[in-house]
Amino acid sequence: MPAEVRASWSKVAVSRAKRGLTGGERERALRELEVVRAPLRETGILGWVSAELHADVCRAIVRGLGPDRARVFWADLTTESMRAPLMRPIVSAALSIDGRRPESLIRRAPRVWELVTRGAGELTATKIDDGIHLDYAHLPRAFCETAFLLAQVGTCDACLAAVGATGDASIELDPSGARARITVRW
């Protein structure tokens, strides 16, 4: 089975670039995203796109904004998504059940991964003393890149912010082993 992701993930990113960025950042990001816009238009919001196409979105965001701003872009996108009518009750329930702690949200990443990807490897979450490890295994080649992982780190940043925590995330990438680890500490 080829590695795929829900089209909504890529589509929301393009939409966020169109309406959430301004000035030169918006122009650069949209110019870089131009190559992916036509194939995304052809796919329904709940359809599937190739991992490579989604990775192209991630790469375009990094080329248009630079790595630091790309990370913020993905954090803002996740924050906005967590406030949306569909996600708000899920986030609220997670925080009510497990408390207002970063791991209440971040430890759910493997379940979300299962919902938004297929044939794209596995994700596990392991609590450590001062944070959590997110371990990706059997990743498609397109996801064995910093551009893709910056999107994941941005999501972790949004989870930290959602509970008022400060912290940081680091990336360890082993492309030859199709593995990556994001360590989030708070």
Transcribe 50-104 into DSSP letters: EHHHHHHHHHHHHHHH-HHHHHHHHHHHHHHHHHSTTTHHHHHHHHHHH-SSHHH
Output the pLDDT for position 124: 98
What separation, in Å, do the N-terminal and C-terminal C-alpha atoms of the chain show? 37
- Rg of the chain (C-alpha set): 16
Q: What pLDDT score does 173 carry? A: 97
Phi, psi dihedrals of residue 32, rounded to the nearest 5° = -70, -35
pLDDT of 183 reads 98
- Residue ranges in the chain whose pLDDT is less than 50: none
pLDDT at 90: 86
The pLDDT value recorded for residue 87 is 84
* pTM recorded for the entire structure: 0.94
Distances (CA, A) of 92 to 32, 96, 100, 158, 180: 35, 6, 9, 14, 29
CA–CA separation, 82 and 87 (whole Å): 5
